[in-house]
Amino acid sequence: MALGHDHPLRRGYDVDENAIRFSNYFHVLRELVHLSSGWLPLVPEFERKYRLGEHVHDDARAVSRIRRRLYELRHPSDYPGAPGPELAALLDRLAGADACESYLEIAYGEVKPALRRSLATHVENLDPVTDEPSLILLEKLIGRQDRHIAELAGGPVDGVAATADLGSLPIDLKAEPRRLRILPPLGDPARDPAIEVTPDGDPFLTDELYVNDPDENHVPIEPEEQRHFFHALMDAELCAAELMARNSHEHPEMPWDFHVDMARQVWDEVRHARVHDILMPTELGCRWGDYPVGFSYFRSIYAHDLLGRLALFNSTSEQKAMWRHSHRRKVLVERGQEQVAKVFDYLLADEVPHVHNGVRWGSHLLGGDEDAYRRRVRELREGLDATGAPVETGA
């Protein structure tokens, strides 16, 4: 199609107005990533937890792109300022939700629809030629918000009290960054109502499934043990997603790239859970909910500070799981279970960046000193048994 030159340019927004609009979107999406990460462990149903995890990642990437556009418009600063009083009031209400359901209602029934309307207003009024970079970005954001709302809004969102065009709200460029509310510390994560949670989890699982010694590691090959093993693995993936989500939520002071890395891992882990959710009924003859699960390992990691969680989970548990996944894959290929073996191939590939998250952000917490981080990992590993579980101390 020819570019055309007979239509005059539209007046559109001036650069300042445009940057103010993107600043408002930044604040809305940043708050959504932060709070959805905090609430995700408390969403009981697997399907909704999966959706929320994927949206957190999608919105985290949107924040990165909006920051980039702000940097271009306000060169050389991408500082989004602080929300003005009207937007702050909306965000405070979102942050003030005292239960998972009311949070999701405000987020998906009110905030995201208001954001979506404002993005559409922006597209209708900008000049698509001088401001083509904004146009392309906004169209992508609208498509994503439409999908998120369709997937997680509990009911119709049309009747929602219309927040004013939130892109046009004032931004305070001289104010300190907005302080994000951190939810109270997590107890146990929530699971589907049909899941039985017990102190010790599934008694069928043996230590030999989780040791890294090539002579002692046992790959589950019998149908019955594979059923129990994959069921536990699905729960372990959910726990991993929940730990990463809380790492992000509980540390808003970390650089933005940390939150993007955590959001990506949240999405990866809920995707892994989905793989097992499909594999169980289609290949193994069982389903999610057939066996009990337990949270003692989750609690042992969650009890640590961020550095300890990265050292024990990303740099130890996930690092050691890489060897076991490749070992499992080999044994299953030899047995002709190609479909199940392929799963381990992908889990292994995804594990590489997860392990890297440990080194990257653990070193960051120690002033960029990677050697100091590796020493810390070695120290913390001394408290673990051969399966990676903390050694019981005391009675």
- Kindly list the residues in this chain that would bind Fe ion in the complex (CB under 5 A): 237, 269, 272, 318, 354
Residue 105: its H or E element:
helix 100-106
How far apart, in whole angstroms, are the C-alpha atoms of residue 340 and residue 191? 25
Cβ proximity to Fe ion, 235 vs 237, nearer residue: 237
Q: Which is nearer to Fe ion, 58 or 351 (CB)?
A: 351
Prior bond to 353 cis, omega within 30? no
Whose Cβ is closer to Fe ion: residue 175's or residue 352's? Answer: 352
Q: How far is the CB of 262 from Fe ion (least distance, A)?
A: 12
Cβ-contact 36, 107 below 8 angstroms: yes
CB of 259 vs Fe ion, minimal distance in Å: 17
The minimum distance between CB 355 and Fe ion, in angstroms, equals 8
Is the bond preceding 252 in cis, omega lying within 30 degrees of 0? Answer: no
Whose Cβ is closer to Fe ion: residue 141's or residue 234's?
A: 234
Q: Is 389 helix (H, G, I), strand (E, B) or coil?
A: coil
Minimum separation from the CB atom of position 194 to Fe ion (A): 22
The one-letter amino acid at 53: G
- The nearest distance, CB 326 to Fe ion, in angstroms, is 14
Rounded to a whole number of angstroms, the minimum distance from the CB of residue 315 to Fe ion is: 12
By three-state DSSP, how is residue 380 classified? Answer: helix
Minimum CB separation from Fe ion for residue 351, in Å? Answer: 5
| Residue closer to Fe ion (CB basis): 180 or 275 | 275
State the DSSP string of 63-77: HHHHHHHHHHHTTT-
DSSP 354: H
In whole angstroms, give the CA distance from residue 20 to residue 174. 13
Q: Which helix (H) or strand (E) holds 335?
A: none
Nearer to Fe ion, 123 or 322 (CB): 322
Which C-beta is closer to Fe ion: that of 73 or that of 343?
Answer: 343
Compute the C-alpha angle 219/302/288, nearest 5°.
45
DSSP 303: T
CB of 349 to Fe ion, least distance (A): 11
Alpha carbon distance 265, 271 (integer Å): 10
In one-letter notation, the amino acid at residue 120 is A
Which long-range contacts link 332-338 to residues 24+ away (Cβ below 8 Å)? Answer: 332/219, 332/221, 335/221, 337/283
Closer of 227 and 354 to Fe ion (Cβ): 354
